[in-house]
Amino acid sequence: MRTQSHSKKRSAGDYWPLFALLATAALAASAMESRNRFTKTEMEWMADFMGVFLCIFALVKLFNLSKFADGFQMYDLLARQFRPYALVYPFIELALGLGYLSRWKPPLIQTATVVVLGFGALGVINALRRGLDVNCACMGNILKVPLSTVALTEDLGMVVMAAVMLAR
């Protein structure tokens, strides 16, 4: 893992794996929406999107859990202090995703999303502020996407969508 300052120039191609996963989650949520074309609300679409997104991201982390944990410990505030959290995190993300898809206790799932991903965003902010140049563990160690404002946007995007659903 690289720990030098932001010396490497980034291109849009560096983020292609992220775009592919986001597009897949959006298409899967849209496919689920087409089942109930006339009864589905935008809140239900958001729940489906978040469920698919979180399940996909959990899956790529689980492909190599140990390497994910190594990378996650580089910037997550809790994982840096407590490795078991880094090892459990993909399962938390998977549980949240399945919670969204099954519509199991939505206020609990939405609140947990705000807390878990909001806290994760703090670690990303801290790492970016320190100039840490590592690959984002958010995609597991399979896809090499740099930790950046994109990782922050992912976390905060999920937090905002969960908060919007909570408010409704």
* Tens-digit pLDDT profile for residues 41-84: 888 889 988 998 898 888 888 888 898 899 899 889 999 999 99
| Domain contains 78 | yes
84 Cβ neighbours under 8 A, 6+ residues apart: none
Say how many domains are in the chain. Answer: 1
Q: Supply the Cα-derived Rg of the chain in whole angstroms.
A: 16
| Domain contains 6 | no
**pLDDT 10s digits, 95-114:** 999 899 888 999 999 999 99
- What distance in Å separates the CA atoms of residue 117 and residue 68, rounded to the nearest whole number? 16
**pLDDT 10s digits, 4-49:** 444 466 676 767 777 777 777 788 777 776 666 656 688 888 998 8
In Å, how far from its chain's centre is CA 166? 19
Residue ranges making up the domain that contains 135 = 13-167
